[in-house]
Amino acid sequence: MINNIRIQLVQNAASILRSPVHLLPKFVQKKALLDGMKMVFHEALEDGDFEFLEGKWLKVEIRDMNLCWYVSYEDDKLVVADNIKDEDVSFSGNLNDLVLIAGRKEDPDTLFFQRRLSIEGDTELGLEVKNLMDSVDLEQLPKALQILLHQLADFVHKGMQAPNAHKEVVNAYSN
């Protein structure tokens, strides 16, 4: 029963979260994204590891939530925009897959080859972004965030790995 609830939550996470997130004003979304990125990439920002993104734009899209942001690096800080004319590279995936990547339950390369993660545009720039994401030391994050990220990724991973997940849910509701 609990596993069926987990499966349902994981399968429907994007549709459950889509409306509340879209109700947030864009400036709140941007601030939350920027604050989160500053926390996660604190060390990389201090070391100037984002210089490769200066004058270039990275599109980050969560497809199943219809969310999209553009990220760049200007004057030694990250910048987030709602819309730009042309991005240099684009990363897009579904919510659950991006959670799995963030929690290190799935490798971005694996998801890319399974066509669950899309990287389009400037290949070299995309590789630099991917390598920067891979270099994040999750141990440097605040302990509470580490635990939350690990538990969320574990929850999603188990919900997606359940054998015949869809069949179990259908059977549970049809009995």
Whether residue 94 lies inside any domain: the answer is yes
* Domain presence at residue 129: yes
Give the pLDDT of residue 166. Answer: 46
Q: So what's the pLDDT on residue 161?
A: 84
Quote the pLDDT of residue 54: 95
pLDDT on residue 153: 93
- Predicted pLDDT of residue 164: 52
Task: Specify if 47 maps to a domain.
Answer: yes
The domain tally of the chain equals 1
Residue 92 neighbours by CB under 8 Å, 6+ apart: 59, 60, 61, 62, 63, 117, 118, 120
Q: Tell whether 120 is covered by a domain.
A: yes
What pTM did the predictor assign?
0.84
Q: What is the pLDDT of residue 169?
A: 41
User: Does some domain include residue 173?
Assistant: no
CATH at residue 106: 3.30.1050.10
- What pLDDT score was predicted for residue 162? 64
- What is the rounded CA–CA span in Å between residue 90 and residue 60? 6
Contacts of 169 (CB under 8 A, 6+ apart): 4, 7, 8, 11
Question: Is 165 contained in some domain?
Answer: no
pLDDT in single tens digits along all 175 residues of the chain:
788 898 999 999 999 999 999 999 999 999 999 999 998 898 899 999 999 999 999 999 999 999 999 999 999 999 999 888 899 999 999 999 999 999 999 998 899 999 999 999 998 999 999 888 888 888 888 898 889 999 999 999 999 986 554 444 444 444 4
Q: Quick check: is 64 in a domain?
A: yes
Q: Scan for tokens 């965030």, then name that residue.
A: 145
In a domain, 80, yes or no: yes
Domain assignment of residue 70, given as a range: 1-9+24-159
